[in-house]
Every structure is written in C-alpha cells, then in structure tokens.
C-alpha cells in the first residue's frame, strides 16, 4: 500500500492497474505545493476522477453481484 505516496501509487498503477481511492488521492494533492492555476486545473481533473471512480464502482459492484450469485465451475 502506498500510504499517500504518489510515486508508489503511480508504480502500482503501472504494475497492477490499481487506482488510488479518491480520499487518498485528494490527500496526496493536498500534500503537494501547487500554484493557484495548477491547483485549479488539478481540482477540475480530480472532480472528474471522483465522478468516474464512483460510476465504475457501481458497475464493478453490479458485475461482482452477478458473479457472486452464479455457481462456480468445477475443475
């Protein structure tokens, strides 16, 4: 786990395709010194990330519920 380290989170994303939870991503942003314009642009991108993350969670939950309701294949 990257524990708010953006560099480790980026490595995990490249290796395992793990997206950081929005709360942890927000904390990483808040711990970074940014100029006003960069902060505004990053906030806009973060809001988009937050929206899409929530949408994907709903889709993923639906897929997992369908899989969980099904029967497992026998080997």
Domain count, the chain: 1
What pLDDT is attached to residue 4? 66
Q: For residue 58, is it within any domain? A: yes
Packing angle of the helix pair 36-69, 22-30 (nearest 10 deg): 160
pTM of the model: 0.70
Q: Would you state the pLDDT for residue 68? A: 85
15 is a domain residue:
no
Judge contact between 40 and 29, C-beta under 8 A: no
Domain assignment of residue 10, yes or no: no
pLDDT digits (tens, 9 = 90+) for 19-70: 889 999 999 999 999 999 999 999 999 999 999 999 988 998 888 888 888 8
Domain that holds residue 60: 21-69
Q: Report pLDDT digits (tens) over 1-17.
A: 556 677 777 777 677 77
Is 54 inside any structural domain?
Answer: yes
| Per-residue model confidence (pLDDT) at position 64 | 84
Cα Rg, the chain, nearest whole Å: 17
The answer as to whether 4 is a domain residue is: no
> Within 10 Å of residue 34's Cβ, how many Cβ atoms?
13
């Amino acid at each position: 786990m990257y524990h708010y380290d953006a560099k480790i989170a980026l490595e995990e994303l490249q290796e395992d395709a793990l997206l950081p939870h929005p709360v942890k991503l927000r904390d990483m942003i808040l711990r970074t010194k940014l100029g006003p314009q960069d902060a505004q642009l990053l906030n806009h991108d973060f809001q988009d990330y937050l929206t899409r993350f929530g949408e994907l969670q709903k889709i993923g939950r639906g897929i997992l519920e369908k899989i969980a309701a099904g029967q497992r294949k026998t080997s």
